[in-house]
Structure 1
Amino acid sequence: MEEEIVLYQSKWLGLYRKGSWDYTRRPHSDHCVGILAITEAEEILLVEQFRIPVGKTVVEIPAGLVGDEPEFTGETLAQTAARELLEETGYRAEKIELLISSPTSAGMTPETTHLFLAKELSKETEGGGTEGENITLHKIPLARLRSYFQEKQAEGCMIDFKIHAALAAANLPFS
């Protein structure tokens, strides 16, 4: 295996080379989680936030990095999923199960995304993320999801593909 050469590295992101291949990675984590949270009323919890790299507001499932802060070193994937769900939405899940793990973008990063299904939810806080995050929570009935996406796209928002991947992995159709 060829040696990894550091081309550039900041606190949160690095650019590396192995042989003739350049790629990026996060210095503190090669794993992230996404959480498909479904309420008893068959609503999906979605978050909306402005994302600088794409220059647009993006509708997403709650998500976060695994072990990216010193206080979260050693967390399991499921613990990270539960923490991120609570931070971003204010909901705690009694049941969290892994649906699928997959490369985030195999040609660009070694990061793996782990998608979870969260059920038996209870509202505990307002959510909205941690300091510096500006997250808006939406509870959308699964039966209205397709029209909701169309409305958000008409407003100029982007829809993150992880929503569709998580719904497919959970075998949850939407209309």
Structure 2
Amino acid sequence: MNETHLEVLHAGRYLRLVRQGRWEFVQRVIAPQGAVQIIAVTAEHQLLLVEQHRPPVGGRVIELPAGLIDGDGGPDETPEATAIRELEEETGYRCARVRQVHRGPTSPGSSNEFNTFFVAEELERVSAGGGLDSEDITVHRVSLAEAPAWLAARQAEGLWVDPRVFMGLYWATRHPE
């Protein structure tokens, strides 16, 4: 992005609000490569999802396992390594490898963040998951066949469903290779 005419309106520890011409948007101060989203399906044809409280939306959100490419695994950690690490931390499942299936902007009208989607291959459950000590993550294993109804039921209970979950379902059901 051309930042020559970029005015910083406010800078925080992790984000900053900027203006370019008449356009205001948020930039990540950390994780310039963005975030990873992991599409992981067990041998039992269950999509792995996580649930956690998200203060910006004031409630719990059902999401794909995900994380920022911010060097938590070391300064030279690749997006692929981030995906593998985050999958295990959040869900308790280890994978043999990941395969990138998409990269694109998260919310191009308000943020410069990009997401890279990976399909996790050859899953093995190695722990209960739940994230790091600072996180409160609930792991869900949802049958691919029942996922749309399950997600609708969670929404009826008042939970939010991140729209990227539906992209995960698309890849899990239409592109299983």
TM over 0.5: yes
Q: Structure 2 residue aligned with 1:35, among 27, 33, 38?
A: 38
Question: Using the alignment, how far apart are the partners of 2:174 and 2:144 within structure 1?
Answer: 9
% identity of equivalent residues: 38
Q: Structure 2 residue aligned with 1:85, among 81, 84, 87?
A: 87
Could you tell me which runs of 5 or more consecutive residues in structure 2 were left unpaired when the two chains were aligned: none
* Alignment length (residue pairs): 172
Question: Using the alignment, how far apart are the partners of 2:174 and 2:132 within structure 1?
Answer: 30
Question: Using the alignment, how far apart are the partners of 1:131 and 1:26 within structure 2?
Answer: 24
Could you tell me which runs of 5 or more consecutive residues in structure 1 were left unpaired when the two chains were aligned: none
The residue that corresponds to 1:120 in the other structure is 122
The residue that corresponds to 2:57 in the other structure is 54
Q: Aligned runs of 1:1-175 on 2, under 5 Å? A: 1=2, 2-30=4-32, 31-67=34-70, 69=72, 72-172=74-174
Instruction: Give CA-to-partner distance per residue, 1:20-47, whole Å, 9 cap, x none.
Output: 2111011011310000100011100000
Determine helix, strand or coil for the equivalent of 1:149.
Answer: helix
Q: RMSD over aligned Cα, in angstroms?
A: 1.6
Question: Using the alignment, how far apart are the partners of 2:38 and 2:107 within structure 1?
Answer: 18
Query: Aligned pair in 2 of structure 1 residues 21, 68: CA closer, same or farther (>3 Å)?
Result: farther
1:170 deviates by 4.7
Question: Using the alignment, how far apart are the partners of 2:147 and 2:96 within structure 1?
Answer: 24
Determine helix, strand or coil for the equivalent of 1:34.
Answer: strand
Question: Using the alignment, how far apart are the partners of 1:9 and 1:49 within structure 2?
Answer: 26
Question: Using the alignment, how far apart are the partners of 1:96 and 1:50 within structure 2?
Answer: 27
Question: Using the alignment, how far apart are the partners of 2:171 and 2:41 within structure 1?
Answer: 14
